[in-house]
Chains A and B, each alone.
Chain A
Amino acid sequence: MDRLPSRPDEALAQRRTERRWIPVLIVTALILLVAQGAKSVADAMAGPTAPAVEVGSAVEIQPRPGWDVESISTSPPAARLHRGTVLLDVFVYGAEAGGAAAVAQRYVDEALRPGLASVWIGGAAETTLAGGVPAVRFGYIGLTHDGVSLEGVVIAASGHAASAVFDAYAPRGSLATVAQDLRVMIDGAVLR
């Protein structure tokens, strides 16, 4: 049907305002589709938020929405969570007399360096987990044996009865997108 002519008494400014809204609404809808649509599709594919994960009866971590539990093992006590291409490995060890720094050093020597073709370790900074458990945090950049460039963050914590390592890593460029999720999950993790 042809567009009806405007009423002679219709305000020109009003018609102009209506036209100004159309491109704005289109751009807004596209922004929301690209930004929030991804979350909706990903959440729909990921299913409901996973329940809290217990690792070796010593660590409890609550996955954020969108995070899936890929595996949990009891021997050695470990768990792997992932969101898209970001992986979060949680390992539980025995108590470490040398404190969090020693746990971190042991993880670098026994897991990171042997597990990657090459790795650059950043400087360590002190932090804490839930309940004030002392921990150290450092970043790293590495290359896997099959050539994928990774960036990662490790938080090593030392409690009275056990120690734990949280290793979050992803292909270059992806880790920053979940930085907030990681902080909430790891800072809120309970080490008994």
Chain B
Amino acid sequence: MSGVRRAQLHHRSLFQLHEPAFWVFGAFLVYGMVRMVGALVQLSAVSRSGWALSWLLLALYAAPLFLLIYYLDLYEREPLSVAVAAFLWGAFAATALALDAGGWDQVLAQVAGADFAARWAPALTAPVVEEFLKGAGIVLLYLIVRDEIDDVMDGFVYGALCGLGFAVVEDVLYFMAAFGGTPAGVLQGFYVRVLSSGLYGHVLYTGLVGMAVGLVVSRREPAPMRDRLPAAAGIVAIAVLGHFLWNSPLLSFGPTPPIEGMEWLVLPFSLAVKGLPLLFFVIVALRLARGRERRWLDGALAGEVGSEGLTEAELETLRSPARRRAAVSAMRRRAGAPAGRLLARLEREQIDLAMIASRVATPDDPAVLQQRDYCRSLRDALAAMPGAQAAVAHTDAAGR
């Protein structure tokens, strides 16, 4: 019997009722929602207009960022239910549990003194506690849908979405508690926490933690576990260090309150001193992860080119997300929307062919044969659609 069943391979929803991790994830999420929704609704009493403005501004920030993160993975679209679950874990479960864990500040104050804790507690306790709690959600998601997190890019996507959820709820708490909660205070808070520093925070930290999880659980990774674990620990350490630096009084060159006049323009640059190094690190890590994905795709499909599942021209298109989009667009224009959808489906199934081919022992494994046949049948169906052949020829010519 084949070791890989196509139905188990991909596009699984969150709702794996037979997985114990699903119920644990759900229990923590419900606890977090009850706790945080109660706290957030209470804060609305400060100023209803400020509260509504907080959510509106953060929705304008979070919605495009959610999509940007979601579409980062070039070859595989993560199931929406799992992506939303990662966001919700960050927004409710991790924030509620982090509030519970606020006692570590108190412990630090008792152990090291109130003055030391006042200066260093946000830098020493929050990074470790918050990154652990957010990362634990990613691990639970992995235990629910193991096949969906199988590389560093998958881990980054889920981790960054989790961090985004955390940032949104934390920002509402900040706007309402620390910035006064009035519309004017909320606008100031939005400028300081989102416009000036929204690129550096939880999205990056937890994205890195997710990458570490992805590296450890990856089945595409040829390196042995004894090499992967130190690398993953190093990535987590960089995430925690970045978070530590951001919260610490070190490198705080910015204007001090009250911020007035031109100082508002200086603020983003002074915050960049703390945030940009980690942002650059994450960009480099993402580029490396993309290169890794492309090499994996080439390796997994090398033996498939020329088979009935994949032609050489199709591989060339498949390697470039831009070319894939252009091919689907050309197909839609020349042969209609159904043909465009069918081509997109064929491309997804060819990516799945790569997944299956990389997980089986022999190229004539029944799962590979079945997937090749399925790809061929989709191509045949596409070829039978009026105008489709011309679109394929046009795309091939453009590719050459």
Contacts and interface: CB of A to CB of B under 8 A. Distances in A.
B170 A31 contact: no
Interface string A85-123: 110000000000000000000000000000001111111
Interface string A5-48: 00000000000010011011001101100111011111101100
Interface string B30-70: 00000000110011011100100000000000000000000
A160 interface: no
A175 B177 contact: yes
Contact of A122 (B39, B143, B180): B180
Contacts of B170: 176
Given A34-B101, A34-B132, A43-B103, A120 B258 contact: yes
Contacts of A82: 109, 114
Contact of A24 (B103, B105, B119, B143): B143
A177 B102 CA distance: 6
A85 B109 contact: yes
A173 B247 contact: yes
A120 B24 contact: no
Interface residues of B, number: 63
Majority SS at the chain B contact face: helix
B97 to A, nearest CB: 4
A177 B21 contact: no
A171 B136 contact: no
Interface stretch (B249-257, B288-296, B337-345, B392-400): B249-257
B178 A34 contact: no
Contact of A120 (B110, B182, B183, B257): B257
A187 B177 CA distance: 14
Interface in A112-137: 117-125, 127, 137
A173 B122 contact: yes
B97 A46 contact: no
B130 to A, nearest CB: 10
A84 B177 contact: no
B269 interface: no
A140 B179 CA distance: 6
A147 B182 CA distance: 27
B117 A85 contact: yes
Contacts of B183: 123
B210 to A, nearest CB: 15
B180 A123 contact: yes
Contact of A177 (B99, B118, B180): B99
Nearest to B129: A34
A56 to B, nearest CB: 25
B377 to A, nearest CB: 33
A69 interface: no
Nearest to A153: B177
Nearest to B139: A27
Contacts of A42: 103-104, 106-107, 110
Contacts of B20: 17, 20-21, 24
Interface residues on A, range: 35 or more
A46 B106 contact: yes
A63 to B, nearest CB: 13
A86, A139, A153 interface centre (most CB from chain B within 10 Å):
A139
A151 interface: yes
A151 B259 contact: no
A188 B255 CA distance: 37
Given A118-B257, A125-B47, A27 B122 contact: no
Interface string A158-184: 000000000000111111111110010
Nearest to A70: B114
A9 B132 CA distance: 41
Interface in B105-127: 105-110, 114, 117-119, 121-122, 126
Interface of A: 17, 20-21, 23-24, 27-28, 30-31, 34-36, 38-43, 45-46, 66, 82-86, 117-125, 127, 137-143, 147-149, 151-153, 170-180, 183
Given A139-B185, A174-B105, A180-B39, 15 more contacts: A27-B140, A34-B97, A34-B129, A38-B104, A39-B100, A42-B104, A82-B114, A122-B180, A123-B182, A125-B182, A152-B178, A153-B178, A174-B102, A175-B177, A176-B177
Which 10 pairs show the lowest CB-CB distances between chains A and B?
A122-B180, A42-B103, A139-B180, A123-B182, A84-B106, A38-B103, A120-B257, A177-B102, A84-B105, A173-B122
15 contacts: A28-B24, A35-B100, A39-B103, A41-B104, A84-B117, A85-B108, A85-B121, A85-B122, A120-B257, A122-B179, A125-B182, A137-B46, A139-B177, A141-B178, A177-B105
